[in-house]
Amino acid sequence: MESIRVIRPNPDEYDPAFGRYIARAADIDDARRALAMQQEQVVRLLEPLGDKAAEYRYLADKWSIKEMLGHLCDGERIFAYRLLRIGRGDRTPLAGFDENAYVPAARSHQRPLSDLVDEWRSVRGATTSLVRGMPAEAWSQRGTSNDHTISARALLYIIVGHVDHHLGVLAERYGVANV
């Protein structure tokens, strides 16, 4: 299968607030491989924890590990939806979302960790399928999200960088790191 190289977006292709995620993403020389490797990294890291360990919060008002994984699923869905719309040339402005409202509404802390891991696999698999089917010219398409210009390729970098950010948080604040 041919690799899908997606060049790094220019700063005028995204809201500066997303710059921290884009900066975390390595250059994407093979999008399918990058997404698959990251998917397995999350599974390998979280699947062995078990429900009790995944309920851990490093502070009382911070998300549990389960809630963080639920957030990764929600965020991935939203970013992938934006990628679909913008990659298809849809110029309809897209709304933002408040992750701090989504997390308690999802009630991920009440679900078995195994369900959340399965959901993560499915959501990332759907993103990978979407990326695999994107025509080359789609990556340079631009649209509007949360009142800012954003390109399809910026969204892919945000997807990868967002997960990498939370992997860093898991290591630094939760003590959960790749072995």
> pLDDT digits over 7-56, tens only?
999 999 999 999 999 999 999 999 999 999 999 999 999 999 999 999 99
Rg (CA), the chain: 16
179 in a structural domain = no
pLDDT > 70? residue 112: yes
Q: What is the pTM of this model?
A: 0.96
6 in a structural domain = no
CA 99 to chain centre: 12
pLDDT > 80? residue 179: no
Q: Which amino acid is at 87?
A: G
How far apart, in whole angstroms, are the C-alpha atoms of residue 152 and residue 158? Answer: 10
Q: What is the pLDDT of residue 58?
A: 95
Tokens representing residue 173 in the block:
């604040």
**Residue 4's pLDDT band (boundaries 50, 70, 90)?**
very high
Q: What is the largest CA-CA distance in the chain?
A: 47
pLDDT > 80? residue 107: yes
5 in a structural domain = no
Number of domains in the chain: 1
> pLDDT digits over 92-106, tens only?
999 999 999 999 999
4 in a structural domain = no
1 in a structural domain = no
Contacts of 158 (CB under 8 A, 6+ apart): 14, 18, 21, 22, 25, 79
pLDDT > 90? residue 1: no
25 in a structural domain = yes
How far apart, in whole angstroms, are the C-alpha atoms of residue 96 and residue 147? Answer: 8
**Residue 178's pLDDT band (boundaries 50, 70, 90)?**
low
169 in a structural domain = yes
Can you spell out the DSSP letters for 87-115?
HTT--S-B----HHHHHHHHTGGGS-HHH
78 in a structural domain = yes
What percent of the chain clears pLDDT 90, i.e. is strictly above it?
A: 97
Tokens representing residue 108 in the block:
């991920």
How far apart, in whole angstroms, are the C-alpha atoms of residue 125 and residue 148? Answer: 27
DSSP E strand boundaries for the chain: 142-145, 148-151
How far apart, in whole angstroms, are the C-alpha atoms of residue 166 and residue 110? Answer: 20
Identify the CATH number of the domain in which residue 33 sits.
Answer: 1.20.120.450
Domain that holds residue 154: 11-174
Contacts of 127 (CB under 8 A, 6+ apart): 35, 76, 80, 83, 159
In the predicted model, what is the mean pLDDT of the chain? 96
Q: What is the pLDDT of residue 177?
A: 83
**In the block, residue with structure tokens 């892919």:** 156
